[in-house]
Amino acid sequence: MSTVDIGHLPVKNVSPFVWNGKLCMWDMFKMRIYEVEVPKAQEHAKLTAKIVRSFTYGPGLPTTSEPLRGSTSPIHLHGSTWGCVVHDIIFNDTPMITFRLSYIHHWVEFDIERGIITFISQPFFIAHWGIEYVSGIYQDPKDYEKITLYFGIEDKHAMQCTTRLHELRFGKAIR
């Protein structure tokens, strides 16, 4: 485990992925991609990162008052289009802590070369209204449409679901 210096703290929900053969990090909150610079000779050296792409929203896309936050690493869809699951936070005015905070997910697609968010799905949850955090994604190499999401409920229960890419685009994680 190493610290990555990207110039600001705290850093949450930054997702690693490989792009053009280089280790990168997707930061949906800041709408940036960082390239991680890994020192070759020193063990336990501090990793650094530089911004290699900043993003803007494409025309007509819905935005929220607060920035969306990252959840899964991006997956390559086609051409320069990548996709991932991100989340927003909803605070409810109820005294019970388990219902005070909820995560709502969105499927996001972006053009990595042009630096444009091209698609944001309708909000969805998978299995639980409350603390439900999607942390992993797997695209079946034999069936482009088949997506497996790995998520946790209330930071206690690890789960997975399998869905289709078109279902994520419509804001439905499970048929």
57-94 pLDDT tens trace: 998 887 666 789 888 999 999 999 999 999 998 887 76
Domains and CATH numbers, the chain: 4-169 (2.115.10.20)
Distance between CA 32 and CA 41 in Å, rounded? 28
**96 with 64: CB under 8 angstroms?**
no
pTM higher than 0.95: no
Q: Is the dihedral of CA 151, 101, 60, 117 positive or negative?
A: negative
pLDDT (tens digit per residue) in 102-128: 889 999 999 999 999 999 999 999 998
Widest distance between CA atoms in the chain: 53
Q: Please, which residues have CB within 8 angstroms of residue 77's CB and are 6 or more apart in sequence?
A: 83, 109, 165
